[in-house]
Structure 1
Amino acid sequence: MASSPLRPKTTLKHARSSSFPSTSHPIVSQFDEHLSRVKSSSEATSSSLSSFTCRLGDLERLFDYTEDLLQLPHVQQAISREKLDELLEGYLKILDVCATIKDLLSNEKQNGQDLLSALRRRRNMDDISSYLTPRKKSKKMIRKLFKNLKSMMKENNFTSKKPETSAIVGELQDVQLVTLGLFKALLSYFNGTGSQSSNWTLLSKIMPSKSEEVEANEFDNVDAALCSLFSHNKTSKYEELISQLREMEATIEVLEDGLECFFRRLIKTRVSLLNILNH
């Protein structure tokens, strides 16, 4: 990989033991600078498609810096076998989460295409309502994965702040933390604002709660259009739902492309860690 342009040096600031030499390598400075930038962007409250694509792009660049960092001999020496095992396990979990999110998006796109087909053929409401069951199943899986992510982030944050954790290991764990944070935000976006408080119909379980004052996204708009169709069953409602489904499909395809590229970067980083372990 071609090395990235050098940027002004910054100083790593950590209240823990550090294995870095007193004068950091320029790559270390670049890595530290970009990690700080990604951390700052992750605190933004915007949850739009453009914000997610930007954050995914920033994470890909961060992993480029991480790849360069892991090639430095003194960094490889600073990572003890025990800490290397922890990092490898962490990246394996991240790969699993990324793959699961990709599968969820793929399933949702297929379900949406099936619903589009039913709408175009003007099938009866039973055929159209078949979309509700997989959507409800997806939301259940998202809630479970969301809970696991929160637990993983808590554990990662605790481990990275241990006094015996070296600066480089702590920062590599911070990379994992911001990655998990993006996945968590993405799952919330994918899940929409649906309320699970009502149990009178499948439809009520995927619709937003009236008490929730949040901006609707493409997934919410499909749920709302579907609800409107069931309420009125007019031709205009069919067209509205078809339009919302197409928008949702386009959003999913953008997210799928971004996650696929990022998934390959994750694999490359894990391979680099495995190479350090095997030497």
Structure 2
Amino acid sequence: MAVSFHVRSNSFPSRSHPQAAHVSEQLARLRSSEEGETSTSSSSSICQRIDNIQELHESLDKLICLPVTQQALAQEQNKKTVEQLLDGSLRILDLCNISKDGLSEMKESLMEIQSILRRKRSELSGEVKKYLASRKAGKKTFQKVQKSLKVAHVEDKKEESLAVFGEAEAVTVALFDSFFRYISGSKTCGKWSVVSKLMNKKKVTCEAQANEFTMVESEFQSEKTLKMEDVQILESFIQDLDDRLESLSKA
């Protein structure tokens, strides 16, 4: 997601350029896969989408590094566009860090709960309350971030060839919107609806979601039904998500 600039020319690589065409194909696949999903996400689909977004950003880095792109970005008339690209890159990095911080806090609590389950269940109540309080605070943080998710309109940019950058930011922000909803167990949207919503194109219908997070949270409400295996599965899934987000933040 790093963006660097050193240059001299006046046009971005057209979509006929092999790298630009490759980015457009990746965006088309991301839109297609989103449209093919049901209204509820799964752990595997969330992980796959993170991986696909990482690959997209790696391709964008290659596109930005092309001499013709570097030359265009150095033009004074493209100064605002360069600032937008940098702002978008920093925004995505912030979203990665916010996500990782939330996951890290949950993982630490789950590890402590596993330790207690191996010793004395009588000590479990206090730690469960801490976890649930942490979950509640995390949900509020994620919901607050979701409300701030906005993407610059691609149609506002004069250069048609710049559309891929705006679209890439849109699909990335849409991923985090779904990611926060998944972790919170709140309502989730499918069929490319999140991007449409972010681009102010249409209203969307969302449905409630049940997953690893909500299942363990439900078990915590009645500690006698809490299973070590479910806690371990959730902790492992959180670690997997954390690793993938770390890779995305470095893409």
Which digits, 9 at most, give the CA deviation of each residue in 1:130-170, with x for residues without a partner?
A: 32221211111111112122xx23xx2x2x111x4312322
Which digits, 9 at most, give the CA deviation of each residue in 1:217-270, with x for residues without a partner?
A: 0001111111122xxxx4xx24x2x222111101101111111111100xxxxx
Q: Partner of 2:55 in structure 1?
A: 61
| Separation of aligned partners in 2, 1:226 and 1:107 | 17
Equivalent position SS for 2:148:
helix
Runs of 4+ in 1 over 6 A off after TM superposition: none
**Matches of residues 95-110 of structure 1 in structure 2 within 5 Å?**
95-110=93-108
Equivalent position SS for 1:123:
helix
Letter in 2 for 1:185: S
| Separation of aligned partners in 1, 2:212 and 2:115 | 19
Residues 1:89 and 2:87 are matched in the alignment: yes
Q: Partner of 2:211 in structure 1?
A: 217
C-alpha spacing 1:72/1:123, structure 2 compared with 1 (3 Å): same
Which digits, 9 at most, give the CA deviation of each residue in 1:177-231, with x for residues without a partner?
A: 111110110111101149xxxxxxxxxxxxxxxxx974420001111111122xx
Q: Partner of 1:28 in structure 2?
A: 20
Letter in 1 for 2:66: L
Letter in 2 for 1:146: Q
Q: Partner of 1:123 in structure 2?
A: 122
Q: 1:181 aligns with which of 174, 177, 199?
A: 174
Letter in 1 for 2:69: V
Which digits, 9 at most, give the CA deviation of each residue in 1:113-135, with x for residues without a partner?
A: 22223333223434542322212
Q: Partner of 2:41 in structure 1?
A: 47
Deviation at 1:78, TM superposition (A): 3.1
Query: What is the TM-score of this pair, normalised by structure 2?
Result: 0.77
CA contact (8 A) 1:42 1:181 kept: no
Equivalent position SS for 2:220:
helix
Query: What is the TM-score of this pair, normalised by structure 1?
Result: 0.70
| Separation of aligned partners in 2, 1:35 and 1:179 | 10
CA contact (8 A) 1:102 1:256 kept: yes
| Separation of aligned partners in 2, 1:131 and 1:71 | 44
| Separation of aligned partners in 2, 1:127 and 1:71 | 49
Structure 2, unmatched stretches of 5+, are: 1-9, 188-205
Task: Name the larger-Rg structure.
Answer: 1
C-alpha spacing 1:224/1:26, structure 2 compared with 1 (3 Å): same
Structure 1, unmatched stretches of 5+, are: 1-17, 195-211, 266-279
| Range moving further from structure 2, 119-128 or 93-102 | 119-128
| Range moving further from structure 2, 118-127 or 88-97 | 118-127
Identity across matched positions, percent: 33
Letter in 1 for 2:249: F
Equivalent position SS for 1:165:
coil
Deviation at 1:49, TM superposition (A): 1.3
CA contact (8 A) 1:19 1:167 kept: no
Residues 1:263 and 2:249 are matched in the alignment: yes
**Matches of residues 200-279 of structure 1 in structure 2 within 5 Å?**
214-229=208-223, 234=224, 237-238=225-226, 240=227, 242-265=228-251
Superposition RMSD in Å: 2.4
Letter in 2 for 1:110: E
CA contact (8 A) 1:102 1:259 kept: yes
Q: Partner of 1:38 in structure 2?
A: 30
C-alpha spacing 1:226/1:170, structure 2 compared with 1 (3 Å): same
C-alpha spacing 1:223/1:146, structure 2 compared with 1 (3 Å): same
CA contact (8 A) 1:98 1:259 kept: yes
Q: Partner of 1:273 in structure 2?
A: none
C-alpha spacing 1:23/1:59, structure 2 compared with 1 (3 Å): closer
